[in-house]
Amino acid sequence: LKRAATQLAKDWRTDRILRRLESLLAVVDAETSLIVSGDCNVIEPTDGIIGIGSGGMFAAAAARALLKHSPLPADQIVRESLLIAADICVFTNDRITIETL
């Protein structure tokens, strides 16, 4: 996953059309969580929790607290974190659909 994300970031940066796209991708597998950005950055958080978008940092902070201090399963931590972010950030929607693989 890390090698593929790094190659994607390089390709994104060198593509004539995509390089103008300022965006972030959250990429996750069973062992690794990464944030890939259009400016050729691949970021791996130390705790595996990532958040992108306007309320991403609020959701990530809430997820860290819930993970540390509650017995909730992963899907409930995600839901509650996003709801907390939606309460704080006016640009974050509280209509949430969570799909689990």
Ranges 7-16, 38-47, 60-69, most confident: 60-69
- In angstroms, what is the C-alpha Rg of the chain? 15
Q: How confident is the model at residue 38 (pLDDT cuts 50, 70, 90)?
A: confident
Amino acid at 8: L
Full-model pTM: 0.83
Q: C-alpha angle 97/46/86, rounded to 5°?
A: 30
Amino acid at 32: T
